[in-house]
Structure 1
Amino acid sequence: MYYKEQYVFKGEQISKAIIRNYREEDFDALINIQRECFPPPFPDELLWNKKQLMSHLDHYPEGALCIEIEGELAGSLTGMLVDLDSENHSHNWEEVTDRGYITTHEPDGKSFYIVDIGIRPSFRKMDLGKLLLQAAYERVIEDRLERVIGGGRMPGYKRFSKEMTASQYAEKVLAGELKDPVITFLMRSGRMPVELVKDYLDDEDSGNYALLMEWKNPFIPHENE
């Protein structure tokens, strides 16, 4: 299992953060994190429920991560193991995660798939998302997995959807000509683009697209390298 302490900064304020695996007693706080990250009109039934969270612990507790600041839960990340076809990455979030229940977790999978990541708005600007992703990278290294991978929403695309395609938008974000709240964050966290996936999730802001992005384990050989 995973446990780490370190200091985090918000302006001049220094706080102690604990990154660890979440437990059943954290479920209410985890659901509240989702509620704050996805406020109305986002449908309440699409937020985590306790049955889903228990399924995470049943299938892959190593991928159930949270971060607390001075004893208060501030964010979470959920992952699972998969083996994606290296030649065809086409899939959608609901299918690969079984609607967030992760019953599709493959114990022998070599890719740590990011199911969800969220930071409470009041705790943003502290690089907590990067710390959760770093914990996922460390899990990949510890277990000799090949990579972290997952679909990144492109919420900034809505502003430009009438003047460029989703592919053109992604290229401009990757080139630094535009900034996207999610894709730019993932780039800053070490993730690299793999493929633009159509109909990944029902997300009007992203035009239902997602940019599949990965972080490769630097300690093992990879194909074509």
Structure 2
Amino acid sequence: MYRKELYVFDGSLPVPAVIRNYEQRDFPGLIAIQQESFPPPFPPELWWNTEQLGNHIRLFPEGALCIEVDGQIAGSMTGLLVGDEAVRPGHAHTWEEVTDGGYICNHNPHGDTLYVADISVRPTYRKLGLGKWLMLSMYDVVVQLGLRRLLGGGRMPGYHLHSEQMTAGEYLEAVVAGKLKDPIVTFMLRCGRTPVGVAANYLEDEESCHYGALMEWRNPFYK
């Protein structure tokens, strides 16, 4: 199982942190992360529930990571394995379809793509760079399991400001070119992810005009 001890920085102050697989005892803290990260008017029924979290640690515990800071759970990241039939090029998919609505019952143990279902960090801890550490740790999982890549769809919350002037694909290209900044897409670029394309009706998100930016990280050791 996964465990990484490290220091994160609050300004110039080193703070001890641990990234590890989450367990049943962590469920209340994981749900609290969702509540703080996605407050109303985000629908509460879309927060993780105990059945979903139970599936995560039962079906693919390697893809269930959390980060503790000074003993407090401050963020989490969850994935599942999928095959090309689920995310093949030219095949439109939604977050709901590819993650089974977060229940990951469609986890394919023979898949060679680790698909990101969620990454969340408590707002009060976001200045510590925990999201990037979680992403880098999931790359470790990709390498350890000999997978081809990590893939996931992210929000494009800045797109609604430009949707009348450009398509979603053009917006993604503008962010990658450095002409525009998007808090989520730019974050994924900083984590080493590269764009694959955009998916229409990927998730219910008015700021993204319901598009998702599909971005991957390829395993440099994959044969």
Q: TM-score, normalised by structure 2?
A: 0.96
Residue 81 of structure 1 corresponds to: 81
State the Cα distance separating 1:113 from its structure 2 match: 0.4
3-state SS, counterpart of residue 150 of structure 1: strand
Q: Distance in 1 between matches of 2:157 and 2:124?
A: 20
Q: Distance in 1 between the 2:17 and 2:101 partners?
A: 30
> Conserved in 1, the CA contact under 8 Å of 2:169 and 2:197?
no
Count of aligned residue pairs for this structure pair? 221
Alignment match, 1:102? 104
Which runs of structure 2 are paired with 1:1-225 in the superposition (5 Å)?
1-85=1-85, 86-221=88-223
- For residues 178-202 of structure 1, give each alpha carbon's deviation from its aligned partner in whole angstroms, at most 9, with x where no partner exists: 1101000000000001111111111
Counterpart of 1:99 in 2: which secondary structure?
helix
Contiguous gaps of at least 5 residues in structure 2: none
Distance in 1 (alpha carbons) for counterparts of 2:48 and 2:67:
17
Give yes or no for contact 1:89–1:195 (8 Å, CA) kept in 2: no
Q: 1-side partners of 2:140 and 2:91: how far apart?
A: 24
Q: Deviations over 1:40-67 (max 9, x none)?
A: 1111111111111001111101100000
- 2:41 maps to amino acid: P
Aligned partners of 1:113 and 1:150 also within 8 Å: yes
TM-score in terms of structure 1 length: 0.96
Q: Give 1:162 deviation, angstroms.
A: 2.2
Question: What letter corresponds to residue 101 of structure 2 in structure 1?
Answer: R
Percent of aligned positions with the same letter in both sequences? 54
Aligned-residue offset at 1:13: 2.0
Shift of 1:164: 2.0
Q: What stretches of structure 1 of length at least 5 have no aligned partner?
A: none
Paired AA for residue 33 in structure 1: I
- Report the Cα offset of residue 163 of structure 1: 2.2
C-alpha RMSD of matched pairs (Å): 1.0
Task: Give the distance between the partners of 2:25 and 2:71, measured in 1 at CA.
Answer: 13
Q: Secondary structure at the match of 1:98?
A: helix
Secondary structure, counterpart of 2:90 in structure 1: coil
**Deviation digits for residues 12-46 of structure 1 (CA, Å, limit 9, x no counterpart):** 22101100000001000000000111011111111
Q: Distance between the aligned counterparts of 1:89 and 1:188, measured in 2?
A: 27
TM-superposed CA distance for 1:89, in Å, is: 4.1
**Letter aligned with residue 139 of structure 2:** Y
Which stretches of structure 1, 4 residues or longer, exceed 2 Å deviation after superposition? 84-89
Cα distance, 1:87 vs. partner? Answer: 3.1
Cα deviation 1:100-125 (Å, max 9, x = unaligned): 00001000100000000001110012
In the alignment, the residues of structure 2 paired with residue 82 and residue 182 of structure 1 have an alpha-carbon distance, to the nearest angstrom, of 23
User: Which letter maps to 2:186?
Assistant: T
Distance 1:41 1:114, change over 3 A: same
